[in-house]
Structure formats: structure tokens, C-alpha cells
Chain A
Amino acid sequence: MPKVRVATTSLAGCFGCHMSFLDMDERIVGLLEHVEFSRSPINDIKHCEPCDIGLIEGALCNADNVHVLKEFRENCKILIAVGACAINGGVPAMRNNFTLAECLEEAFLDEIGVDNPQIPNDVEIPLLLSKVHPIHEVVKVDYYLPGCPPPADAFVKILTDLLEGKEPSLPKDMLHYD
């Protein structure tokens, strides 16, 4: 039986969700008997092949994030929004209380100690969106894995459910944080 192909990426995130994913420790060995990884920061593959499952960490804050997200949606049968930033915008969305001009001026022009103040405009640098958005505002998301980060057990549970052909369902203790 061919292995289930999984891709992962971090958009505007802190890679904390990926670290939590790796927190499943030795259970990843058992998982690898059933899955193989396509594009992922874990293996440094740069582009997504057609996949069964895509895990997206992080919010949308720039044009590159939008391109990556669209590549995932086009290639993944099931797309999962992972963590607070992908689901709600999270910490990166705190800049939504300010205009983009205020953010860039504070960082590159007005901040104490800025040398040669200028707003970067190299074509290599992706342009920032005026606001940070959760990913479901741009593509259809099939499942949500909440948490900041979601616990390793929650990754194991959602992937195991999908591998067994079940509708994923997280028990209450994996959804409760207070």
C-alpha cells in the first residue's frame, strides 16, 4: 500500500507548531511506516508534490505566504490549519491595530539606533499585506487543529484518525487550555 503523503509549512508563524509536532518523539518512527513527507521544513523539500494531507502553521502576512498557501491548496487533498496564527491570525495579527506604514516606519525609520533609515524595497523581499489574515480567509480549510501550539498528542490524534479513514475528532482535554 502506498504511503500517505504529508506536506507541512510555516507561513507567518514561529515554527512552534512544528516543534510541537516533533515533540511526538519516538512515535514519529511508527508514523513514518504509514506516511512520507513532501515539502516540509523537516526535509527542506522546496515545492509541494500532489499530497494527501497539508499542515499549515502561521498566518498570512505577505505575498509569498499567499503563493505558498495556494500551492498547498492546489496540491493537498486535505488541508489542516494548525495553531492559533493559521486559525485566527495569532501574534502576527497584533500589527492589525496599526497601519502598515506605522509598522514599517517604526521598524525602519524612527526606531532608536536605525542606521541609514529606509523602508526595504528589494524585489527579493515579498511585499507585506496591509493586514494579517487567518488562512481560511483565502483558501478552503478542511480541518482546524487549535492550540498555541497544539500538543504533540493532538497531531498524533488527527493524523491517526485520518490514516484510519475516520472523521478527525479531538477529545476535550486537547481543546482546553485554561
Chain B
Amino acid sequence: MTSSYQLNQTDHLLHVLFNEQQKSLHISNAAITSIAAQLNLPRAQVESVVDFYSFFHRTPRGRFDILFSNCTSCGDLKLMQQLCERLQVKPDNTRADGLVSIGQTSCIGMCDHGVSLLVNGITLTSISAQQIDHMAELIEAETALAQWPASWFKVGNNIRKEGLLLASSFEPGGALKAMAGRDGAAIIDEITAAGLKGRGGAGFATGMKWKFCREAQGDTRYVVCNADEGEPGTFKDRILLNSHADTVFEGMTICGSVIGAKQGYLYLRGEYRYMLAALENTLQQRREKGLLGSNILGLGFDFDIHIVIGAGAYICGEESALIESIEEKPGIPRIRPPFPVTQGLWGQPTVVNNVETLVAAARIVLHGHHWFVSSGTWQSRGSKLLSVSGDCARPGIYEYGFGITINEILNDAGAEHVQAVQIGGPAGRLIPADHFEHRIAFEDLATGGSFMIFDHSRDLLEVIHNFARFFAHESCGFCTPCRVGTTLLKNGMDKICSGHGTAHDVDEMNRTAALVSRRSHCGLGMTAPNPIRDGVKYFPELFEARLLHQEMEPEFNLDASLEEARNLTHRDDEEAHL
């Protein structure tokens, strides 16, 4: 690939495929051939992308294609079942008349809104059982989405507590103007002095990342904003993109000027497509104000931003998988090193930062590092946006200085009789009640911002089961430990939750969990067994209560497994049973 490679936004494979999916309700072999020719890509590449991303289909979906979130906070599959019954369609099938198809999808980031779903890619929130009946009528009458009640599409911000980032106002261009007279090295020093660490969860020092990229050998450089907010229970980037998009883009622009990039990409998760028009509009306004484009504010550098929209793949939140996805390929993580700072997008040095990190960076440039370190702890500077959801009176966004305890957060959110909290999403930690004095901080509980509350009315084993299904579904399939291991772990939870598990199965799950964590290729597999390991460690009695007290129970019903053969041979003798 040449260094001068420029991606035309409208011709991006993911966007072309999305349009084809919308137009033809599926992506046919003929369409794959013609798209490959149109974009001058190998047919196999187009085919592999169609098969990789959940939102692309080889067989036709309904004219109303509905995906219910199966997240523990923004999903309720009972409502999916209700809609399926009302519309006489089986889950994951398209009705014979082609009107409707109904399925499930991983968390869509609406955890503060209750049950949510996507209709033809557009988000509906706070769905009730009564609404399901109304929705069924609208679908049967083929009422266009534009005529559906506007209130159904409303996505609120639900900001419950403002801190360092959310409380202060921001004038577009403010941080860029504050850059005047300071060179890139000075900006990096400022961000390093502020102690800013990546807000996506891994916590790499931002100043160091920018410095590495600035110093790396390359023909050009890129800035990528990771807005593929896929961790179940996380929705803080949604709020930042909705209300602070200017700050996000300004953070990207500052990064571009520091590292010497001319092009930035915002990788937006497909589930947030409803925000696209507003984001494009913000970009356009910034171009008109001279905050993007050539010679920005007369500071002598050029920079512009394109938006690339994903198509339903959690793994694309992993930075190297995200880069692959921008490069129009399946989102399979790369082997690291080399890290993106030296060889990222099209082999060029690339900074990939989380949305919240870029907002913080822009604010640090504007207000200085002293302002930033006024909040947080010695090792975890500044504030963190937490997406609080689950069993509490006030779900929403809470911004705290690092060092806040779980107990204080639960108190603010109005959560009572709490059994456990899942911090950092399914890939994070399951925390039992006697650990609630722990603090949100890199040195204690690091998190990307997901904070899911489960009270005593929850079947925690079902929560862990849900997370196991999530990872088995979202594994990219590249490496065997993760592809096979996550499914084995799901099968183990299936067996235990259905009352067929034994102590032997728990031992086997522990063994498999250790292997998957240790041997997987990327962070997805390394963290996928966390909910099961934490569950077995902190809630052994919940597992124990479901187990059969015998040495071994087969993985399947032996006699039922002969049923098909009995039918085919018309036998029912003693030997025909087990």
C-alpha cells in the first residue's frame, strides 16, 4: 500500500455494503462481484468482510429488520419473544412475506434507557410491552419509520454528575488557539505532565503514545478516534459524541498537529449510526470555521477527519482490529508488536485514542495540566466518566475524580440491596458486595467506564451465562484458544444453568478459562473468562446450588440422541434406548 493512500469516505467498503444491505436487504453473490469490481478490491476480501460483520447478511432480512439488544442492562429477550409471537416470525428468521425479521444483537449502548433495539440500523429506546403491541401494528401496516412516534427514537444524555470534563464549557477552536506559539514537543510535555492515561481501559500514557508516534519513521501519520464503544454497559462515548463532538474533533486535530498527521478517522460503531448526520454536520461547521482543512487557524498545518462506521463487531474496539476495519478488512487483531504508533493504518505511524482521552487532551491543552491534576489520585490523574446502569434508581453518566469508591457511586445512583457490580463490562471484573470499598483508579479497579449493578433479585448465574454467550458470539474466530474456548465456556454455563452440571464441569471450566486467558491472541480472549472466574471465586455457592451431586453427567441426553435413529428405523425395542 502506498503512503499516499487516501480513503474516499463514500467509497469505503463498509459503507457501500451497508447501502447494499439497506437497498437489497441482503448482499448477494452478484452484488459482491460488482462491489469488488467497483471498488477494485479482491472478491475474496469483499466476501470475507460480508461474512465477518454481524450487520451484513447473505440471505434477505425483512423490510423491517429488528435487532433486540441482549445486554443485561439494555436488553430483554422476553420482549423479543413477544414481538415474534405478535408478528408470527421465529427469531433469526425472515417472515415468508419478507416484511419482517427479528433477531438479537450485543449491547447497543443504551443501558441508561432500559430495553432498546435497532430497526433498520436506527436506535429505539425505553421499549415497553405495550409498545411492542403498537410496534407490531405499525409493522403489519408497513408504516414508514418516519411515521413512527418520534418519542420512541429519543436518546437522552442522562448526565447525573458532572466533573472536570462535563462541567466546563468549550468554545470550538479554543484549544487550538491555546496551541499557538507552542510546538508539538511542548504539547506532549503538557499532556505528560497532566498524567493523562488512555480512557478506553488499558490506560497507556497518552503523552508517551503521541511522542512515540511523532518520533516513528513514516511517510505520513494518522490519528484514529476509537468510538467503537462496544463493551456492554458502556455509553459514555455516546454522550461525548452527542454533546461534545467539537471537543472530540479538536482533540484529534491537536493530536494531528503534534504528531504530523494530515488525516484523522473517527471509527463510529454501527449501533451509533443515528448520530452520523449530526457528527458530519459538526465536521462541516468546523471546516467552515477554518478549524479543519488547510492551514488551520493560520497555524500552518492541514488536517481533516473522515468518519468510518462499523457494522456490528465488538472486536473492532481492539485498536489493531479497528485499523484492519478502516482498511476495509475483517476486524481481526494484528500481532503486536509492531504497535500502531510505529506501524498502524496502511503501515504508517498511527495514534489510536479513545473518545474520552481526546476530550481530556483538548481540555488539558486549553486549561493546562495543573487544572487536570486537581482531580484524581497520585497515579490516576483527572476524572473518569462512568456509565452506570442496571438495578438502580438513577442510571446515567457520572463523572468522578479517580479514587471514588464503589459504595459512593452506588449511593449516588440510588442502588439498594446490591449483590454485585460488574466493572469494566464483561471483560472487566465482577465485584461482590464485601469489596465495595475498592476504588475506581488504575492502581485499584481500572475500567473503560462500564458500571453495571445487579441487586439481589438478579440470578447472577444467568448474568454470567449472558456474558459467556456474548464472548462466544463476539470472538473473531482467528485463534483457536478463543474461538473454541469461548464456546466451551458457554457450553459449560449452558449445562450448569440448565441443572445438568457437576463439580467436574466447574473444574473443567476453570481449566479451560485459564487456558483461554493465557493463550489467546488478543485482549478479547484474555479477558473473556473473567466473569466465570470471578463468579466461581466470589459466588461459589451460586454454582454449588445448581450442581448435581454425582461424578459426571453427559454433555447431552443420551436417550434423546437416539430419537432420530429410532424414527428412521421404526424401532422401539430395549436396545433402541439408552
Question: Please, how many angstroms separate the alpha-carbon atoms of A139 and B508 in the complex?
Answer: 13
Docked complex: A108-134 residues within 8 A CB-CB of B: 119-121, 123, 126-131, 133
Are the C-beta atoms of A127 and B555 separated by less than 8 Å? no
Cβ contact within 8 Å between B568 and A133: no
Contact in complex: B556, A127 (CB < 8 Å): no
Q: A104: shortest Cβ distance to chain B, in Å?
A: 6
Pick the contact of A137 from B554, B562, B563, B570 — CB < 8 Å? B554
Interface pair A127/B566, CB less than 8 Å apart? yes
Contact between chains at A127 and B551 (CB < 8 Å): no
Complex contact A123–B573 (CB within 8 A): yes
- Known pairs A121-B570, A138-B554; A127 contacts B562 (CB<8 A): yes
A99 to B556, CA, bound (A): 17
Q: Say yes or no for A1: interface residue by CB 8 A criterion.
A: no
Q: Is the CB of B568 within 8 A of A119?
A: yes
* Pair B504/A121 contact, Cβ less than 8 Å: no
User: Which of B554, B556, B558, B565 has its CB near the most chain A CB atoms (within 10 A)?
Assistant: B565
- Cross-chain contact B571 with A127 (CB below 8 angstroms): yes
- Chain B nearest CB from A177 CB (Å) reads 14
Which of B551, B556, B562, B578 is within 8 Å of A140, CB to CB?
B551
How many interface residues does A have (CB within 8 Å)?
A: 21
Interface bits B533-556 vs A (CB < 8 Å: 1, else 0)? 000000000000000000110111
Query: Min CB distance, A28 to chain B, in Å?
Result: 32
| A129-B571 contact, Cβ under 8 Å, with A137-B554, A140-B551 | no
From 564 to 578 in chain B, residues with beta carbon under 8 angstroms from any chain A beta carbon are 564-566, 568-571, 573, 575-576, 578
Is B561 in the interface zone, CB < 8 Å from A? yes
In the complex, the answer to whether A130 meets B561 with C-beta atoms within 8 Å is yes
Q: A100-B564, A101-B564, A129-B561 are in contact. Are A123 and B571 (CB under 8 A)?
A: yes
Q: Are B564 and A121 in contact (CB under 8 A)?
A: no
Q: Which residue of A lies closest to B570 (CB)?
A: A121
The interface residues of chain B lying within 8 Å CB-to-CB of A126 are 575
A63 at the interface (CB under 8 A from B): yes
What's the nearest-Cβ distance from chain B to residue A38, in Å?
22
In the bound complex, what is the Cα–Cα distance between A66 and B571 (angstroms)?
Answer: 18
Q: Are B565 and A130 in contact (CB under 8 A)?
A: yes
For window 78-94 of A, CB contacts with B under 8 Å fall at none
Q: What is the CB-to-nearest-CB distance from A123 to chain B, in angstroms, rounded to a whole number?
A: 5
In chain A, what residue has the closest Cβ to B552? Answer: A140
Residue contact A99 to B569, C-beta cutoff 8 Å: no
Beta-carbon nearest neighbor of A126 in chain B: B575
- The answer for the CA separation of A119 and B571 in the assembled complex, in Å, is 11
Known pairs A99-B564, A127-B566; A139 contacts B576 (CB<8 A): no
Q: Are A131 and B561 in contact (CB under 8 A)?
A: yes
User: Which residues on A sit within 8 Å (CB–CB) of B566?
Assistant: 127
B564 neighbours in A (Cβ, 8 Å) = 99-101, 130
Set of chain B residues within 8 Å of A129, measured between Cβ atoms: 558, 561-562, 565
Query: Which residues of chain A are within 8 angstroms of B561 by Cβ–Cβ distance?
Result: 129-131
B563 with A130: CB separation less than 8 A = yes
- Among B551, B568, B575, point to the contact of A101 (Cβ < 8 A): B568
Q: Contact at B568–A66, with CB atoms within 8 Å?
A: no
Chain B residues with CB under 8 A of A123: 571, 573, 575-576
Contacts of B575 in A (CB 8 A): 63, 123, 126-127
1/0 per residue, CB under 8 A from B, across A134-171: the answer is 00011110000000000000000000000000000000
- Given known A-B contacts A119-B568, A121-B571, A127-B565, A133 and B555 have beta carbons under 8 A apart: yes
How far, in angstroms, from A133 to B551 measured CA to CA in the complex? 19
Is A100 touching B551 in the complex (CB atoms < 8 A)?
no
With a cutoff of 8 Å between Cβ atoms, the chain A residues found around residue B573 in the complex are 123
B554 touches A100 (CB 8 A): no
Cα–Cα, bound, A140→B502 (Å): 11
Q: Which residues B408-428 have CB closer than 8 A to chain A?
A: none
Q: Closest B-chain residue to A104, C-beta based?
A: B568
In the assembled complex, the CB of A50 is this many whole angstroms from the nearest CB of chain B, namely 17
Q: Which residue of A lies closest to B565 (CB)?
A: A127
Interface string of A8-45 (1 = CB under 8 A from B): 00000000000000000000000000000000000000
The residue in A99, A121, A131 that gathers the most chain B C-beta atoms within 10 A of its C-beta is A121
> Separation in Å of the B288 CB from the closest CB of chain A?
58
With beta carbons under 8 angstroms apart, the residue of A101, A120, A140 that contacts B504 is A140
Q: When the two chains form their complex, are residues A100 and B568 in contact, meaning their CB atoms are under 8 A apart?
A: yes
Chain B residues with CB under 8 A of A119 = 568-569
A127 touches B576 (CB 8 A): yes
Task: Give the distance in Å from the alpha carbon of A123 to the alpha carbon of B573 in the complex.
Answer: 8
Task: State how many angstroms separate the Cβ of B551 from the closest Cβ of chain A.
Answer: 6
Identify 8 new A-B residue pairs, CB closer than 8 A, beyond the known A101-B568, A129-B558.
Answer: A66-B578, A119-B569, A127-B562, A127-B565, A128-B562, A128-B565, A131-B561, A138-B558
Q: Can you list 6 A-B pairs, Cβ within 8 angstroms, ordered by A?
A: A63-B575, A100-B565, A121-B569, A123-B571, A123-B575, A127-B571
Q: Which 3 A-B pairs have the closest CB atoms?
A: A121-B569, A137-B555, A127-B565
Interface residues of A (CB under 8 A from B): 63, 66, 99-101, 104, 119-121, 123, 126-131, 133, 137-140
